[in-house]
Homo-oligomer: A and B are copies of this chain.
């Protein structure tokens, strides 16, 4: 297996650090538009005492918007698998470049949505992943695999839903992904400061786009899986969810997320939801950004610092004002939890509610990998998936979500202690 990682921001960097300890591939090309950043990642991995075969890692330059350039880079290195680790604006060029280069493809976020033009908070417009699924025939015809949404959420959450579906439940009323943390970032004075622990660009996209929900009854009434999706207003149906792992209660609201688009395609459930534990302060910040139009991605014209007029996306400027979340690990405290709350009927016929989840403590991921916990938790899952694909435990063609594959080998490999596995356990909490 020869892997091209497109993007060496927080997640791409952690992918390389995690993969450094594994033997299943013969080359990893770490590429970024900022070549020096890719080179820093490769140098760090090569210098780490736990890294095996450091010569497997090479840095390269790439422009994630340039489909032909990505394909050329993949061919140059004989790449068999392209892992997309840039922000979701660039999903389609990277996705198409992989197929053009004859490689399989993985990502951690799917192609972007566009709201319904007339009823944005009631009906879906273009949905997350629609552009990718529209090209599924080409992938299937080529016998190539696009494994989409293979981070932690989407990703591990989908794997956990598949596990619950296969092994814990006979009927599922709701697959409810729930994500929360008690992370705080400390300032120079030791007091907590405002600093999102994940890409603000993606967080705004997730939280201010119309949240999406799927219901089987609507799908059946409409005669198609597609008919089951609908939207609700931002920050809809707040609920306090009590997270395990010492995190405790966090206010969660509906947001737009890939799980809701993936699970109904591959699993049986009456309802599929995603709620994100944003907390009150963060919800307030997002509301204000939206009120002021600073969440917008269409450019506004301003004078640049040299006096000449320039056009910039307000959301890019917001992101540029905040610290890079990947660099906050050593000022961060707490843990993050991803998981899916499954409700329905157990295998024994009795009502059951179980929260299948995975907790990562920041102090652990920093000391073990030098990666902050949200970034590490996102990055470990595509590496596990690549290892399963390399060994043949997972195989397929077309555009598939993580829940299309057997969950057991994935969860075993993730949880098994090193060196056999990745040493990161998951758990089931009965509710």
Contact = CB atoms under 8 A, between A and B. Distances in A.
B284 A300 contact: no
Which applies to chain A's interface (DSSP): helix, strand, loop or mixed? mixed
B313 A305 contact: yes
A224 interface: no
B304 A321 contact: no
Interface centre among A194, A292, A303, A319 (most CB of B within 10 A): A292
A428 interface: no
B302 A313 contact: yes
A314 interface: yes
A291 B323 CA distance: 12
A292 B288 CA distance: 11
Interface residues of A, number: 32
A34 to B, nearest CB: 10
A299 interface: yes
A44 interface: no
Interface string A307-325: 1001111101111111000
Nearest to A63: B307
A80 B41 CA distance: 64
Contacts of A288: 284-285, 288-289
A118 interface: no
Nearest to A319: B302
Contacts of A65: 307
B294 A318 contact: yes
A310 B304 CA distance: 7
B304 A312 contact: yes
A301 interface: yes
A37 to B, nearest CB: 14
Given A288-B288, A292-B318, A321-B292, A306 B300 contact: no
Contacts of A311: 304-306
A222 interface: no
A126 to B, nearest CB: 21
Interface string A348-374: 000000000000000000000000000
A415 B296 CA distance: 46
B293 A322 contact: yes
A300 B321 contact: yes
B300 A317 contact: yes
B321 A312 contact: no
Contacts of A301: 320
A285 B296 contact: no
A89 to B, nearest CB: 11
A57 B382 CA distance: 68
A120 B285 CA distance: 25
Contacts of A318: 292, 294
A312 B322 contact: no
A314 B321 CA distance: 8
A313 to B, nearest CB: 7
Nearest to A298: B305
A404 to B, nearest CB: 35
Contacts of A296: 321
A293 B302 CA distance: 18
Contacts of A313: 302, 305
Contact of A305 (B289, B306, B312): B312
Nearest to A196: B292
A311 B299 CA distance: 14
18 contacts: A194-B292, A285-B288, A285-B291, A285-B292, A294-B318, A296-B321, A299-B305, A300-B317, A300-B320, A300-B321, A302-B312, A302-B319, A304-B310, A304-B311, A305-B313, A312-B317, A314-B317, A317-B317
Interface of A: 65, 194, 284-285, 288-289, 291-294, 296, 299-307, 310-314, 316-322
Given A304-B311, A310-B310, 7 more contacts: A285-B288, A285-B292, A294-B318, A302-B316, A302-B319, A303-B316, A305-B313
Closest 3 pairs (CB-CB, A-B):
A299-B305, A293-B321, A305-B311
